[in-house]
Amino acid sequence: MTFIVTLFVQVLMIMFMASDVCAALIPPFFFDCVVAIGSRNPDSTINWGGTGFLIGKFVKVMENDQKRYTIYLVTNKHVLKDKKSMVVRFNPRSNEPARDFNAPVVNKDGNIIWTGHPVDSIDVAVIPINVNLLKEQQMRFNYFRSDEHVLNIAQMSNKGMTEGDFIYVLGFPMGIVDPARQYVISRSGSIARIRDVLDKHGSEIIVDAFVFPGNSGGPVISKPEVIGIGGTKVVSSAYLIGIVKEYIPYRDIAVSLQTKRPRIVFEENSGLAAIIPTDYILETIETAEKGIH
């Protein structure tokens, strides 16, 4: 009887809290941090092949108590590799059509102006953004603040994040970009493996979420929770926890009955994806600030 009463009270508490909090699980301005990245064809059409997002690295508190940030566009190295320029899309503050900005990724000498993480296997690239230009052009944008909206590995461990926790992947899978406006696609999933990262035995989080070409470079957001099981912590806010690297493929090999040798390799999307934690984004920004490409 006591168990039933306790369970009833917990259900009432959940219903009360659910009715008392904002329905949005992702802060709306998070979507304004995300941009579509593409390349322009000779006929001026655009191939949207990647995702990026803006992050502000905290610098200091100004005399007027306002915080100062340095703003970077974050994506994958492979999204920018071998390109001379990229196209980045923003929505105006008004209801006018989206604006596509051409941005060079190499200088006049052919040297890249973006910075990649110094470890080759860490697929993170950053490039500084002139937000004053975006403000002058009346563009609608925002950025993840490193001291407010970002969780690194130590913070994720401290908050008790573990396998089974829910996440969101934001981006533009398969290059699905609205012709008139930039509308980010949000897909849900869960953390499939993180313990090796928390124990410092790995560098990538594995999530159970379908990602496709076009998702590369997109942000991964933790889902806020209202309650947790006894003895565990609750992550009550949404945070940036990483960046999409790629989906993990499932490979099936067709073997010749005559020679017994592999003939064809079939590759499918397994539904699992590799996520690079935010620690490596901040390390890449530090590398950029040291002037190392």
Asked, for residue 5, whether it belongs to a domain, the answer is: no
Average pLDDT (240-269) is: 92
The number of folded domains in the chain is 1
Asked, for residue 123, whether it belongs to a domain, the answer is: yes
Asked, for residue 216, whether it belongs to a domain, the answer is: yes
Q: What's the CATH number where 110 sits? A: 2.40.10.120
Asked, for residue 1, whether it belongs to a domain, the answer is: no
Each residue of 177-221: pLDDT tens digit?
A: 998 999 999 999 999 999 999 999 999 999 999 999 999 999 999
pLDDT at residue 112 in the model: 94
pLDDT at residue 73 in the model: 98
pLDDT at residue 228 in the model: 61
Asked, for residue 126, whether it belongs to a domain, the answer is: yes
Question: What is the span of the domain harbouring residue 100?
Answer: 21-289
pLDDT at residue 263 in the model: 87
pLDDT at residue 150 in the model: 97
Each residue of 69-113: pLDDT tens digit?
A: 999 999 999 999 999 999 999 999 999 999 999 999 999 998 999
Q: What is the 3-state secondary structure (H, E, C) of the chain?
A: CHHHHHHHHHHHHHHHHHHHCCCCCCCHHHHCCEEEEEEECCCCCEEEEEEEEEEEEEEEECCCCCEEEEEEEEECHHHHCCCCEEEEEEEECCCCCCEEEEEECECCCCCECCEECCCCCCCCEEEECCHHHHHHCCEECCCEECCCCECCHHHHHHCCCCCCCEEEEEECHHHCCCCCCCCCEEEEEEEEECHHHHCCCCCCEEEECCCCCCCCCCEEEECCCCCCCCCCCCCCCCCEEEEEEEEEEEEEEEECCCCCCEEEEEEEEEEEEEEEEHHHHHHHHHHHHCCCC
Can you give the pTM of this predicted structure? 0.87
Each residue of 112-170: pLDDT tens digit?
A: 999 999 999 999 999 999 999 999 999 999 999 999 999 999 999 999 999 999 999 99
